[in-house]
Amino acid sequence: MAGWVLCMTLVLAALAGAVGESRYEKFLRQHVDYPRTSTLAAHRYCETMLARRRVTAPGRPCKPSNTFVHAPARDLVAACTQAPDATGFQSTPTAMGITACRLRGGDTRPPCAYRARQVQHHVRVACRDGLPVHLAGTYAPPQ
C-alpha cells in the first residue's frame, strides 16, 4: 500500500510540473509570435506554429481556429488597462498585425490543415490580475 501511495505521489508531482505554466504563459505560447516567425513555406505557417507551440498534437483533435498576434507582449498587456466593453473584454488601443488560422474543412481529426489570413486588427482579451489570459477575438479598425 505504501508503495502505491508513493507511486501515485510521484505521478501527480510529475503531472503538476508538466502543467505548471500560468494562464498568462499559456496565452503567450498559444497567441504571441513576435517578431513573426518566418517559415520555409509561408502557406504552412499555421500548421508549423500550432505544432511548434503545442496547440495541436498527434492524437488530439485539431483546434478549429487560433490567432497569432505579431506584436510585443507588452502591447497586449496594455489592453488590460483599457475599459472593458459590454461583454467584459478589453481591446488593444491600436490595431496590430495578426495571423488568423482557420481549420480547412470540417474534420477535426489530424492531420490538421489550416488556412491563414494576415490582417491588421484590434485584439480583444480577457484579463486577470492585469495580464491577458484569453484571446476573445479580433476586429477591424473603424474606417
Beta bridge partners of 135: 125
Q: Which of 31, 70, 121, 122 is catalytic?
A: 31
Query: 48: exposed, middle or buried (C-beta count within 10 Å: 0-12, 13-18, 19+)?
Result: middle
All residues at 6 or more sequence positions from 33 whose CB lies less than 8 Å from its CB, including other chains: 49, 68, 69, 70, 99
Judge whether 70 counts as a catalytic residue: no
Judge whether 43 counts as a catalytic residue: no
SS3 content of the chain, % helix, strand, coil (to 5): 30, 30, 40
Q: Just list the catalytic residues.
A: 31, 134
